[in-house]
Amino acid sequence: MTVQAQSGVFWRIVDESGTGPDSVTLVFQTPSDTHGNLQLETDIVTAEFLSCVGRSHIDVEWTTEDSELLSILLQKQFPERFDAENSMRLDLSDDAIIDTLAVIAAARFGDAQDGADWLSQRPWNTIQRSYEVGDMVSLATEEGFCLGVLVTLDAVEGEVVLMQQVDGQSGECAARLHERIRVYKADLLPDTFAHVLPNEGETRH
């Protein structure tokens, strides 16, 4: 199904565990009364509303910040299809679009994890690049380079939503798909590093 990117949309946090609303769903309002609203489940879980135990769901507004991040991601990932003046249509049968919406959900509701515990401490000598929100980046872990998308950035730190799962040897160095990770700006590496397994003593330029 195809929907307008800027049509009526809101978040619905659903109680799927029986302990309170925790599962993030995106709801697209449909203009027709004969069809119910379209709901898109994500893999994002939040603890923000667990105090509302007993309620089947909580509806949360779609914010300007959500719209701005969506526009940035669509423009960077689908430039040939993006039209800022005429709202882009989202094909919800496209896995890439669903992935993009999951990134928005993670950026909004995900609990940011500290990347210091599982990022590799090896020095990576590479040309310093200028990054922007929406850029694809790599993070160096002991398991290899992990691909992610940058969703926030300031002068010191950034937050990255992982586009790959990190299967660590211990709980400290494992991270799931769409995990939100807080890292130092200096930890960001070009996305071309992803899928490469670092060797001992290796230096990249």
Mean pLDDT of the chain: 82
Q: Residue 123 falls within a domain, yes or no? A: yes
pLDDT at 143: 78
Q: Which of 109, 132, 153 is the last residue of a domain?
A: 109
Q: Residue 202 falls within a domain, yes or no? A: no
Q: Residue 130 falls within a domain, yes or no? A: yes
Instruction: Provide the domain count of the chain.
Output: 2
Q: In whole angstroms, what is the distance from residue 102 CA to residue 96 CA?
A: 10
What percentage of the chain exceeds 90 in pLDDT?
Answer: 44
- Token pair for residue 165? 């799962």
Section 122-142 average pLDDT: 85
* Residue 6 and residue 103 in one domain: yes
Q: In whole angstroms, what is the distance from residue 12 CA to residue 88 CA?
A: 22
* Residue 16 and residue 96 in one domain: yes
* Residue 127 and residue 87 in one domain: no
Q: Residue 97 falls within a domain, yes or no? A: yes
Q: What is the pLDDT of residues 156-171, one digit of tens each?
A: 999 999 998 877 655 4
* Residue 49 and residue 143 in one domain: no
Give the relative orientation of helices 64-77 and 95-109 as an angle to the nearest 10 degrees: 140
CA angle 176, 6, 26 (to 5 degrees): 35
* Residue 119 and residue 100 in one domain: no
What percentage of the chain exceeds 70 in pLDDT?
Answer: 79
Given a cut of 80, whether residue 125 has pLDDT beyond it is no
Q: What is the pLDDT of residues 31-90, one digit of tens each?
A: 765 567 888 999 999 988 888 878 899 999 999 999 999 999 988 988 776 666 555 677
Q: What is the pLDDT of residues 174-193, one digit of tens each?
A: 678 999 999 999 899 999 88
pTM of the model: 0.84
